[in-house]
Amino acid sequence: MISRVSSESHADRGWPMARRVERQARLLGEMMDRLAIDPGAAAREGRGTGFAAASRRCLLCASSTACRRWLDQGGSGTAPSFCPNAAFFERVRVAAS
């Protein structure tokens, strides 16, 4: 018997954590784009540990609604004060300069 691997994602099956991971990953990527953070520089921060920590902070962040609103309203320049990754973004920006 051959088993088939379903093409539907975990989020499609109603797994709330999968939806959260996908949403937060999109927000993190959009925030980095908005702040002109080089993804390569972010990935190299602390030999990868900095970006891993930033991803965890974003995943656990309770301000995703405020983040989405800030991005939708065209926020730019520096990360908003509610962002737990503001220091990380600034560190990466300075290191890339």
pLDDT digits (tens, 9 = 90+) for 13-41: 667 889 999 999 999 999 999 999 999 99
Residue 53: CA count within 13 A, CB half-sphere: 13
User: pLDDT category, 95, cuts 50, 70, 90?
Assistant: confident
Task: Write down the pTM of the prediction.
Answer: 0.80
pLDDT digits (tens, 9 = 90+) for 61-78: 999 999 999 999 998 889
How far from 14 is each of 6, 8, 21, CA to CA, in Å?
14, 11, 13
Would the pLDDT of 1 be above 60? Answer: no
Q: Kindly state the percentage of the chain with pLDDT values over 70.
A: 86
Would the pLDDT of 3 be above 50? Answer: no
Mark out the alpha helices in the chain (DSSP H runs): 16-34, 39-44, 49-60, 64-72, 86-96
Q: Is 12 exposed, middle or buried (0-12, 13-18, 19+ CB in 10 A)?
A: exposed
